[in-house]
Amino acid sequence: MAINSAVPNVEKKVLLASLMFAAAMLGLIAYAAIRLGISVPTCITNVKPFEEGELIRVAPGRYEAHVVAKTWSFKPNRIKVERGSVVDFYVTSKDIVHGFMIDRTNVNLMAIPGAVNYAQARFDKAGKHQILCHEFCKSGHDNMMGWIEVTP
Ligand code: CUA
């Protein structure tokens, strides 16, 4: 009888201790957010220039491509530059890990949520280069691609 009545008391103490611990953790998070100004990091795709993904012409023959990967496409997925152009690629992901590879170039990046990866390529021959996702990203992976068109 004494043992039976003791068990609930122990459980109550454990429950109380865990509630106090959880309250202390919430208090620390609130303290960090309000008094120290520390906030939880936001997704990179919520800030410029990665809200949508775009190709920016910074000078004649010089481009910046801000590429956002998501299941199962790239934005932009059609990039058009003139022959001899140099393109800086900044690549991130909106959801899960994807790949970003441009055929017949050295560009081979991972598109990672919360991070931006960089590569540069020069396009000296007119024609088309395929962009491929080379990281298996579930059912639509095989169709996740884009094109770079190099005009004469
Ligand atoms: Cu995206 Cu495979």
Distance 16 CA to ligand 1 centre (A): 47
Q: Which atom of ligand 1 is nearest to the CA of 96?
A: 1
Shared domain for 66 and 27, answered yes or no, is: no
Residue 137 near ligand 1, beta carbon < 6 Å: yes
Q: How confident is the model at residue 149 (pLDDT cuts 50, 70, 90)?
A: very high
What average pLDDT does range 115-138 have in this prediction?
Answer: 95
Residue 141 near ligand 1, beta carbon < 6 Å: yes
The enclosing domain of 130 has a CATH number of 2.60.40.420
Shared domain for 76 and 121, answered yes or no, is: yes
Q: Is residue 29 part of a domain?
A: yes
Length of the chain: 152
Distance 92 CA to ligand 1 centre (A): 12
Instruction: Please tell me the total count of domains within the chain.
Output: 2
Is residue 1's pLDDT more than 80? no
Q: Is residue 2 part of a domain?
A: no
Three-state SS string over the chain comes to CHHHHHHHHHHHHHHHHHHHHHHHHHHHHHHHHHCCCCCCCCCHHHCCCCCCCEEEEEECCEEEEEEEEECCEEECCEEEEECCEEEEEEEEECCCCEEEEECCCCCEEEECECCCEEEEEEECCCEEEEEECCCCCCCCHHHCEEEEEEEC
**In which domain, by residue range, is 20 found?**
9-40
d(C-alpha 27, C-alpha 59), whole Å: 51
Residue 144 near ligand 1, beta carbon < 6 Å: yes
Distance 152 CA to ligand 1 centre (A): 30
Distance 99 CA to ligand 1 centre (A): 6
4-41 tens-digit pLDDT: 566 678 889 999 999 999 999 999 988 888 888 776 55
Is residue 151's pLDDT more than 60? yes
Look at the pTM and tell me if it is higher than 0.75: no
Tokens of 6: 């003791």
